[in-house]
Amino acid sequence: MPPSFLEAVITRFDRGLRTAAGVPQTEPDSRPPPRGQSPPGPRSGPGEARHIGRLMRVNYAGEVAAQGLYHGQGLTARDPQVAERMAEAAQEEQDHLNWCLERMAAHGVRPSVLNPLWLAGSVTLGAAAGLAGDRWSLGFVAETERQVMRHLQGHLAQVPDHEPETRAVLEQMVLDESQHAEWAEDGGAHPLPLTVRAAMGLNSKLLTKGSYWV
Ligand SMILES: [Fe+2]
Ligand SMILES: [Fe+2]
């Protein structure tokens, strides 16, 4: 029997709280963190390690927000196939959460205390996008993924070659996000108006700045 709406809300809420608190969640089909091809060279000094750890904290916060969006969108999607695909996408993003957590721990950095805020905001935003209609909702996914890709590429430019594990995680995340964007575009995503895209960009700046520091 498919879960009721209330059961789905409770399950997602439970999962979301664990994610916001930085609890890794592994499934039998979870992918291990990708590892760099080159052998590790000189390790980063304390200042550089802290910076890289904080970049991964920003990425973790971004993934928390992505989880919230997918769950919110899944709850209000009209087409059951879109709702199902949103749930699958949230599951696929779980690997990114686990990898970011592992990279943060390797650099002695804890998750952002603002994660519950990003989660609550993004569930609300996702539910609103879902209510606007599936094609707008898919447009929202495509734009989010494209913005995340640009953001990850910016981080890649800051992570040195002697951090091959972190670079490998970021590179795989860029590839995965690009596939998520293509899935949404192939599914009939509506391109979003410039004002919405600009608002999303502003939102992401807030998340980036906030979770880098706390
Ligand atoms: Fe992701
Ligand atoms: Fe994604």
114 pLDDT band, cuts 50/70/90, is very high
Instruction: Answer whether residue 70 shows pLDDT above 80.
Output: yes
3-state secondary structure of 88: helix
8 A C-beta contact, residue 86 and residue 73: yes
**What was the pLDDT predicted at 16?**
75
Q: Which of 9-23, 139-153, 196-210 has the lowest mean pLDDT?
A: 9-23
Q: Ligand 2 center to residue 214 CA distance, Å?
A: 24
3-state secondary structure of 156: helix
d(CA 32, CA 34): 6
Q: Ligand 2 center to residue 171 CA distance, Å?
A: 13
pLDDT tens for each residue of 6-27: 777 777 777 777 787 888 877 7
Q: Compute CA distances 4 → 21, 124, 126, whole Å.
A: 26, 20, 19
Q: Which of 12-21, 48-57, 65-74, 147-156 has the lowest mean pLDDT?
A: 12-21
Q: Ligand 1 center to residue 96 CA distance, Å?
A: 5
Q: At what angle do helices 5-21 and 46-76 cross, to 10 degrees?
A: 170
pLDDT tens for each residue of 39-55: 556 677 889 999 999 99
Q: What is the pTM of this model?
A: 0.88
Q: Ligand 2 center to residue 146 CA distance, Å?
A: 9
Ligand found nearest the CA of 62 = 1
Q: Ligand 2 center to residue 144 CA distance, Å?
A: 8
**Side-chain half-sphere CA neighbours of 131 within 13 A:** 7
Q: Ligand 1 center to residue 66 CA distance, Å?
A: 7
8 A C-beta contact, residue 143 and residue 197: yes
Q: Ligand 2 center to residue 47 CA distance, Å?
A: 30
**Side-chain half-sphere CA neighbours of 41 within 13 A:** 7
Q: Which domains does the chain have, with CATH numbers?
A: 44-213 (1.20.1260.10)
Ligand found nearest the CA of 63 = 1
Ligand found nearest the CA of 94 = 1
Q: What is the mean pLDDT of residues 114-123?
A: 91
Q: What is the mean pLDDT of residues 53-63?
A: 95
**What was the pLDDT predicted at 42?**
66
